[in-house]
Structure 1
């Protein structure tokens, strides 16, 4: 990733200690995420929000839940840092427009990788999901609270949050007809499953490997930027993002369930929907590859993601499972 000191130099004046920091872009997906190397030798993370995605209230709501999870449930969550004016959400010009920005304390750890033995990570990830879900069922959000609602329509409709999957690269011909059948199947299943409080609520919604830090064998959850109201099982679907068709997924599903059930019940009617959640997430990502075509990750997927999604859909529609 390249430096972008010029784009951030003015913005860094908003936080104490960052004024002369050197900015390095470490991630570009929904937002620009920078590591700031401070003059005192320390590091800070600054997230520059994508324009038009979240309002200031929505970002403040994300931070409120993260802080409540740390305070009430004893969970590790990223620590937002106030600016010089005391506010956690700042505004500054970046690349010609005003953007919302948040600074976070830097945390050590490494992103787990596909191909590694992820069983211990998924055991812990299931536990983290359960503890988040348990917390939110008894939590009263602030009076003004705004987060996205990830329903089937919000993911599958033409005006979906992440765009229209029908417009993604490679969606044509037999791929399109297969995915149309999957779309209808998922809507029917989710309507039957319903949105009762034991299965639908505020979730992280993006527990993929890129949003995990592992340090000394402990898995920590970062980046709550997509948190919103959705089915609890969607957190597992998101956990296997971009490797949903791996032969390792059945064992990782079992590890996730084992970890989840250490803290919260997860009955057979919920377990039976996990593969539907994987397919729903896959369709969200397919739409994302089209609407976020400027990112390196989306570009790397354009040649194969739609075809791979259709192959998974054929198997799922025929057998009711994503397993080979």
Structure 2
């Protein structure tokens, strides 16, 4: 945390947070004086909270090379479209020239950054998952209806996630297969699962069931604000299966024994806005398994992050139980 006092003759302009604050003040004069910058969290990106004369703002500093300027602008346009359809999101802040994305010197180096209006509230607690997942299901059902109408506008401006980008040779988070952690029997289990998944996917006519999705709408990307559910962090939004988007709502929680209880509420509320066939509901456990395998790759590629360390290797080894349950049809949902 840094307290920014522009009247101090002894202000350490070499401090990277001070340097960043001075750049922000120049690009966003409407914020007025900047009083404080606090590091919040890191995952794909780094997030800071900015306390200014005009209130609080969140600043996202992009991981180098993760997204192009065009891709970031397309994400922000998607957020604006959803907001125009009464879906609550964190709204970006425009610079004086009307642009939303800047390139700044941050403590992590030169980065694309975007400012968002700070959302007061909190993430849902575990005892609120049932109700929260119901609300998330309603919201995602609305989002997918909107997506079917606008996806072509973004077709070349956001990444496409097929199996290659999820768990294949072009996987965004690298390989799930690390011999130092995974033995032969565990590897065979994953490979058998992926073979079954691809066989079932080949029987699914998914051409019209793909579009622009959030790809990470889980409880940590939901803010409860006075009864309203606000969706944040569209950084991974991409073109992929709507079923993958649904499966991603339980990211990192796939092993939970109480998952069917609150996930069934999600499905029920989703169906009030968008249909799901019996075949799609039967496929959902396999998409959940696919997402878990992708997150194994995320875990290996983010070993140094605070969140990965909080999960620990026990989370990694629970992944094989998840995949085994899917293969043995022990994970199922309402029709």
**TM-score between the two structures when normalised by the length of structure 1:** 0.91
1:145-294 equivalence runs, <5 A: 145-167=156-178, 170-197=181-208, 199-294=209-304
Confirm whether residue 306 of structure 1 aligns to residue 319 of structure 2: no
Aligned length: 318
| Structure 1 residues without counterparts, runs of 5 or longer | none
Deviations 1:63-82 (A, max 9, x none): 111111122x2211221111
User: Which residue pairs with 1:109 in the alignment?
Assistant: 121
Q: Which is higher, the Rg of structure 1 or of structure 2?
A: 2
User: Which residue pairs with 1:90 in the alignment?
Assistant: 102
For 2:221 and 2:166, locate their aligned partners in 1 and report how far apart those are by CA, in whole Å.
20
Which structure is higher in helix share? Answer: 2
User: Which residue pairs with 1:20 in the alignment?
Assistant: 34
Q: 1:132 aligns with which of 138, 143, 147?
A: 143
Q: Secondary structure at the match of 2:58?
A: strand
Distance 1:167 1:321, change over 3 A: same
Post-superposition shift, 1:190?
2.2
Post-superposition shift, 1:94?
2.2
Distance 1:298 1:144, change over 3 A: same
User: Which residue pairs with 1:38 in the alignment?
Assistant: 52
User: Which residue pairs with 2:20 in the alignment?
Assistant: 8
Post-superposition shift, 1:301?
2.7
Matched-pair contact (CA < 8 Å) for 1:158–1:166: no
2-11 vs 85-94, greater mean Cα deviation = 2-11
Runs of 4+ in structure 1 displaced over 6 angstroms? none
For 2:266 and 2:193, locate their aligned partners in 1 and report how far apart those are by CA, in whole Å.
25
Distance 1:21 1:176, change over 3 A: farther
Post-superposition shift, 1:168?
8.4
Confirm whether residue 78 of structure 1 aligns to residue 99 of structure 2: no
Post-superposition shift, 1:143?
7.1
Deviations 1:142-194 (A, max 9, x none): 47841111212211114301211113872233222222222222222223224
Confirm whether residue 47 of structure 1 aligns to residue 47 of structure 2: no
Q: Pairwise CA RMSD of aligned residues?
A: 2.2
Q: Secondary structure at the match of 1:149?
A: coil
Q: Secondary structure at the match of 1:177?
A: helix
| Structure 2 residues without counterparts, runs of 5 or longer | 3-15
Deviations 1:204-245 (A, max 9, x none): 110111100112332221111101111112222111111111
For 1:315 and 1:94, locate their aligned partners in 2 and report how far apart those are by CA, in whole Å.
44
Deviations 1:93-148 (A, max 9, x none): 224632111101111121013x3131111111011111000001112654784111
Matched-pair contact (CA < 8 Å) for 2:123–2:222: yes
139-148 vs 154-163, greater mean Cα deviation = 139-148
